[in-house]
Amino acid sequence: MATNVYSFPLPPNFHRWTVVCILLGLLAYAAQAKSPVGNLSTRTSVADVTVTGQVTDEATGEALAGCSVVVKGSQRGTTTDANGNYRIAVPNGTTTLVFGFIGFVSQEVVVGNRTAINVGLKSSASELNQVVVIGYGSTTKRDMTGSIKSIKSADFNRGIINSPEQLIQGKIAGVNVTSASGEPGSNQTITIRGPGGIRSGSTPLFVLDGLPLDNSSTGGATNPLTFLNPGDIESIDVLKDASATSIYGARGANGVVLITTKKGKAGTSALTLSASLGVSKLARPLNVFSASDYRREVTALGGVLDDRGASTDWQREVTRTAITQNYNIGFNGGSQKLTYFGSVGVQQQQGILKNSQLNRYTGRVNVSQRMLEDRLTLDVNLNAAYTDNQRPPIGSLVGGAISANPTYPAYDSTGAPFQYQGGTNPLIALKLNKDVTATTRVIANISPSFKILDNLVYKLNIGLDYSNANQDVQSLANAVPQQDGRLDSYYNTNRNTLVENYFTYTLNRGSHNLTALLGHSYQKFFIQGRNWSINKFPITPVEPIYNPGLGQDLTLANNQPGGYAIQNELQSFFGRATYNFKDRYLLTATVRADGSSKFGSNNKYGIFPSFSAGWRLSDENFLKSGPFTDLKLRAGWGQTGNQEIPAKITQALYTAQVSGTTSYPLNNSNSYPAGISYTRLANPDIQWEVSTQSDVGLDFALFNGALSGSVDYFRKVSEKILLQVIPADPVQPASTYWTNVPDMRITNQGLELDLNYRYASQSGFRFDIGGNVTFINNVVTNSPYSVITSGSANGSGLTSATINGYINNQPIGTFFLKEFTGFDEKGMSTYRDVDGDGLVTDKDRIAAGSALPTKQFNINTNLAYKGFDLAINFNGISGNKVYDNTANASFYKLRLSKGLNTTPEAVQYSQESINNSAPVSSRFLKDGRFFRLNNLALGYNLNPKAIGMNRWINNIRLSVTGQNLFVITPYNGYDPEVNGNQAINGVVSYGIDYLAYPKARTVIVGLNLTF
């Protein structure tokens, strides 16, 4: 059962109640069957009648606490207790009780002459009536025609969660979530049905409670979505195909992720407290030489052995056992007219690298008020978050730790970091450098909806997303190694405002059901960044961050302030019509006209249509008797856009400035002319990237829903690819310009399969196993370029080499490299001469595989028995490769001979010369497939009665969660799931591992109390 902090907990001793419930249920059924119907009408009384009973989950028999029981048509109501029991006085003449509970289909029961009514509610999660959020509205799983997957909080990944992508990693076919590194709050790359573009900006659109978020960085290095408290999230709905996403038009091409936060429920009240403590350690250290191995290997190479006699495990020195604490208070409830949800959360997370820390403080209030005879509903969501991220110098720490001489001591006799000045003791870099970012983000939206007519609703949505980040990058003044000290401060402000007006019209006439939506949306984005710096601090205990005024050197050459401010606007008109006939034949059509200030006057607006249809075969007579509880065929087609390019592309920039690279002395005076130069070329004709997607899917459920799932085939073709290109003619005022590459296409096609099987035994044992498999084939065609390169290599001497290259008939993320074939007689590397011209040059590069997996598979299992529950989540991918740039830059013979540490990989070839260089080649390209036990959570629900606390406490839950418990992979770097950003000119790179923050293995113990 769910362990999420705000979820409604299991009552204690539920296994016993299960038996009781089932028995009561059977009795009630039997009684009902025997009762003559005529009795109902004959009984008349003027007094109140007390009705009692129990509410249970129909599927499991588990009692439902906090379920609302309301007398229909009145204000009278109550809620069930911890054991699902209720008692309500029903006025005479009342015929119906309404039973409602979050996550379940509410049920109306005719009272008749009964005084005991037990009700089994159907979980909406397991049923076709499950609500699916679709953007500007919702539908049910039964009626949806697009490819949408809804994940409820109960099914989220557990543990230390920094951003919502992590909650759904591995839960949805066709959705690939990859973390950039193991750093707390690191960026997550999420692609839905494969990347449709080749520049950065393939991230889906995130919509939080109806407010589309901007994917821009909010400052600092953390994922901008880190501000969300995962405990506040009720559900995440992922719109995958164009028929679902085209309602978001120009931002729909990469899929849409709709995040819905928790709401209160009338007639209930609950308070939840939760606390957890996590312990993380470096999961897989690199296998660098120990001190004794190092001595032997350096000597064997004839290298310079500088032996200081110590035996230091530098990776251990720069890492630590990291502690994460998480506390949450949540409350929710409401009356008929007013419902509310509130929460306050704190998470203080240490990273496994020393001095790495991410703290998150969040508060949320969601309120819904009904007024004017329930015609007006006012929804208000308010979220405030403060995150505080401290980063050590990651590259120096990781790079230093894997290269430092292991015979050097980490600390000297005084306990200070040992100083070896030529290289740098990573612990000194740790002491002298830090990078701190404090981000405040406030998101508020108010959305009144007014029922003009019974079937016409007008809704206004006004939203604001504001964030403010202060980043300080500090290096302390120091004597040895000598440095002057410097403070750089960056201030970022992002503001995103939204105004939407839309009307929803519904018509139900006989077998015809029509819903129509028409609206207008205006969204404005403002992003501003400014920075200042100051140099040369005295060596004092006062950190520059706390007193920048101590700096003694401030010149335009070294400290020129910088800044930018960008404003973008989007104006849209949208409409959707859904029609179904006899609940069997379903049609949806949407259109959105999107206008953007990023495009020139001739291409301001793009129009993005879609159509989809569904056929519920299981409702047809010829299938009614079969095993299918549900069988639906879906098909859709649509167009969506992508407008994620920088602002101002349609305008040239021609500036006059005095700087070292634009000005020059023209005479002997000390005043220099402002040099005039083009810093940007205009492309007034630039327009949207367009992606056309078709989808055919089948949803099915068999054996009363025990086995359910869906299969989808999709094909997504992106055209008018937006790209920042290097002009063919190198003689250009600016080295690149933006264009829609003519004719080029990127096609993603694939097959997705979701399967779920659930089982519940009479004894209370529940078992639920689900999984998904995705096969994606991504290919670039008709590119006019022989190659579009990306993935700039890192490390000394490697910086102008490229690792990724996008070429025709190969997928995005392709590694385009020389093929390493071994060594010549001098011990120097040889590469395959592909074109046979007798020379090995860059013309001999080959497509050596891609970073994109061809297969993704995930297994999710839930088990529950007698108060215990267990959730296990495995993730795996295959068919992908990883470029080990860390090994390329750090682990070769020449370095070891010069005293830098390496792994045994550097000396694996005895015939290799120590003067052999290691350029970028397939030598460092490695198989990146893996199978990971990503998440394992074991919970136990303790009976408060057993410890005498049942008067106040509804539930006590203890849990242990493991994250990244093991990973099986042939890859020998820190982790194959890595995606360092090595983009060139905005052309995104894939699968490059360079001194990434290593991943942690984490165990978390948690306690939840519900009152």
Q: Select from 71-79, 261-269, 643-651, 970-978 the region that touches another protein (CB under 8 A).
A: 643-651
Question: In whole angstroms, what is the distance from residue 218 CA to residue 221 CA?
Answer: 9
Question: In whole angstroms, what is the distance from residue 335 CA to residue 88 CA?
Answer: 17
- Other C-beta atoms lying within 10 Å of the C-beta of residue 596: 24
Q: 215 vs 663, which CB is nearer to another protein?
A: 663
Shortest reach from residue 667's CB to another protein, in Å: 8
Report the residue from 81, 313, 388, 484 that binds another protein according to the rule CB under 8 A.
484
Which of 148, 204, 141 has its CA nearest to residue 177?
204
Question: In whole angstroms, what is the distance from residue 711 CA to residue 667 CA?
Answer: 74
Report the residue from 221, 442, 652, 863 that binds another protein according to the rule CB under 8 A.
652
Question: In whole angstroms, what is the distance from residue 356 CA to residue 350 CA?
Answer: 6
Shortest reach from residue 889's CB to another protein, in Å: 7
Is the alpha carbon torsion for 713, 719, 723, 727 positive or negative? positive
Give yes or no for a contact between 985 and 937, defined as CB atoms under 8 angstroms apart.
Answer: no
Should residue 686 be labelled a site residue for another protein when binding is judged by CB under 8 A? Answer: no
- Other C-beta atoms lying within 10 Å of the C-beta of residue 414: 7
DSSP 8-state class, residue 418: P
Should residue 661 be labelled a site residue for another protein when binding is judged by CB under 8 A? Answer: yes
Q: Are strands 205-208 and 256-261 parallel, antiparallel or unpaired?
A: parallel
Looking only at residues 275 through 294 of this chain, which bind another protein when binding is defined by CB under 8 A?
A: none
Q: Among all chains, which residue has been given the structure tokens 């249809």?
A: 613
Q: Residue 168 phi/psi, 5° resolution?
A: -110, 10
Shortest reach from residue 317's CB to another protein, in Å: 18
Report the residue from 327, 411, 420, 823 that binds another protein according to the rule CB under 8 A.
420
Give yes or no for a contact between 345 and 274, defined as CB atoms under 8 angstroms apart.
Answer: no
Shortest reach from residue 542's CB to another protein, in Å: 18
Question: In whole angstroms, what is the distance from residue 216 CA to residue 564 CA?
Answer: 14
Which of 278, 132, 2, 9 has its CA nearest to residue 1011?
9
Q: 33 vs 557, which CB is nearer to another protein?
A: 557
Amino acid of residue 417: P
Give yes or no for a contact between 746 and 788, defined as CB atoms under 8 angstroms apart.
Answer: no
Amino acid of residue 213: L
Looking only at residues 435 through 454 of this chain, which bind another protein when binding is defined by CB under 8 A?
A: 450, 452
Report the residue from 28, 161, 780, 798 that binds another protein according to the rule CB under 8 A.
798
Shortest reach from residue 380's CB to another protein, in Å: 16
Should residue 796 be labelled a site residue for another protein when binding is judged by CB under 8 A? Answer: yes
Q: 195 vs 400, which CB is nearer to another protein?
A: 400
Q: 378 vs 706, which CB is nearer to another protein?
A: 378
Should residue 789 be labelled a site residue for another protein when binding is judged by CB under 8 A? Answer: yes
Looking only at residues 298 through 317 of this chain, which bind another protein when binding is defined by CB under 8 A?
A: 302-304, 306
Shortest reach from residue 523's CB to another protein, in Å: 9
Should residue 670 be labelled a site residue for another protein when binding is judged by CB under 8 A? Answer: yes
Q: 738 vs 892, which CB is nearer to another protein?
A: 892
Q: 278 vs 519, which CB is nearer to another protein?
A: 519
Looking only at residues 900 through 959 of this chain, which bind another protein when binding is defined by CB under 8 A?
A: 900, 914-920
Shortest reach from residue 177's CB to another protein, in Å: 31
Q: Residue 249 phi/psi, 5° resolution?
A: 45, -115
Shortest reach from residue 696's CB to another protein, in Å: 36
Report the residue from 382, 446, 462, 870 that binds another protein according to the rule CB under 8 A.
462
Q: 122 vs 604, which CB is nearer to another protein?
A: 604
Q: Select from 35-43, 323-331, 517-525, 957-965 the region that touches another protein (CB under 8 A).
A: 517-525
DSSP string for residues in 153-196? GGGS--SS--SHHHHTTTTSTTEEEEES-SSTT--EEEEESS--
DSSP string for residues in 500-569? EEEEEEEEEETTEEEEEEEEEEEEEEEEEEEEEEEE---SSSS-GGG-GGG--B--HHHH--EEEEEEEE
Give yes or no for a contact between 1006 and 937, defined as CB atoms under 8 angstroms apart.
Answer: no
Give yes or no for a contact between 325 and 274, defined as CB atoms under 8 angstroms apart.
Answer: no
Q: Write the burial class of residue 703 (CB in 10 Å: 0-12 exposed, 13-18 middle, 19+ buried).
A: exposed
3-state SS, 222-241, equals CCHHHHCCHHHEEEEEEECC
Should residue 91 be labelled a site residue for another protein when binding is judged by CB under 8 A? Answer: no
Q: Select from 44-52, 259-267, 384-392, 656-664 the region that touches another protein (CB under 8 A).
A: 656-664
Q: 143 vs 500, which CB is nearer to another protein?
A: 500
- Other C-beta atoms lying within 10 Å of the C-beta of residue 412: 11
Q: 86 vs 737, which CB is nearer to another protein?
A: 737
Shortest reach from residue 665's CB to another protein, in Å: 5
Shortest reach from residue 676's CB to another protein, in Å: 4
Q: Select from 15-23, 246-254, 271-279, 589-597 the region that touches another protein (CB under 8 A).
A: 589-597
Looking only at residues 713 through 772 of this chain, which bind another protein when binding is defined by CB under 8 A?
A: 725-733, 735
Q: Select from 565-573, 698-706, 864-872, 957-965 the region that touches another protein (CB under 8 A).
A: 565-573
Q: Select from 477-485, 624-632, 690-698, 875-883 the region that touches another protein (CB under 8 A).
A: 477-485
Should residue 648 be labelled a site residue for another protein when binding is judged by CB under 8 A? Answer: yes
Shortest reach from residue 594's CB to another protein, in Å: 10
Number of residues that bind another protein (CB under 8 A): 113
Report the residue from 839, 948, 951, 952 that binds another protein according to the rule CB under 8 A.
839
Should residue 801 be labelled a site residue for another protein when binding is judged by CB under 8 A? Answer: yes
Should residue 375 be labelled a site residue for another protein when binding is judged by CB under 8 A? Answer: yes
Please compute Rg for the chain using Cα positions. 31
Per the structure block, which two tokens stand in for 21?
């419930």
Q: Residue 109 phi/psi, 5° resolution?
A: -125, 130
Shortest reach from residue 525's CB to another protein, in Å: 12
Q: Select from 59-67, 162-170, 414-422, 932-940 the region that touches another protein (CB under 8 A).
A: 414-422
Q: 447 vs 580, which CB is nearer to another protein?
A: 447
Three-class SS state of 925: strand
Three-class SS state of 34: helix
Looking only at residues 595 through 634 of this chain, which bind another protein when binding is defined by CB under 8 A?
A: 595-598, 604
Should residue 841 be labelled a site residue for another protein when binding is judged by CB under 8 A? Answer: yes
Shortest reach from residue 666's CB to another protein, in Å: 6
Q: Select from 67-75, 168-176, 458-466, 701-709 the region that touches another protein (CB under 8 A).
A: 458-466
Shortest reach from residue 404's CB to another protein, in Å: 10
Largest CA distance in the chain: 114
Looking only at residues 127 through 166 of this chain, which bind another protein when binding is defined by CB under 8 A?
A: none
DSSP 8-state class, residue 980: -
Question: In whole angstroms, what is the distance from residue 392 CA to residue 430 CA?
Answer: 6
Q: 91 vs 784, which CB is nearer to another protein?
A: 784
Q: Give alpha helix (H) positions in 616-663.
A: 621-624
Three-class SS state of 336: coil
Catalogue the E-assigned strands of 866-995: 868-878, 881-884, 925-927, 930-942, 955-968, 992-993
Question: In whole angstroms, what is the distance from residue 359 CA to residue 362 CA?
Answer: 10
DSSP 8-state class, residue 674: P
Report the residue from 52, 113, 421, 781 that binds another protein according to the rule CB under 8 A.
421
Should residue 677 be labelled a site residue for another protein when binding is judged by CB under 8 A? Answer: yes
Should residue 842 be labelled a site residue for another protein when binding is judged by CB under 8 A? Answer: yes
Report the residue from 78, 311, 501, 513 that binds another protein according to the rule CB under 8 A.
501
Should residue 655 be labelled a site residue for another protein when binding is judged by CB under 8 A? Answer: yes
Is the alpha carbon torsion for 106, 108, 114, 120 positive or negative? negative
Give yes or no for a contact between 259 and 207, defined as CB atoms under 8 angstroms apart.
Answer: yes
Q: 74 vs 799, which CB is nearer to another protein?
A: 799
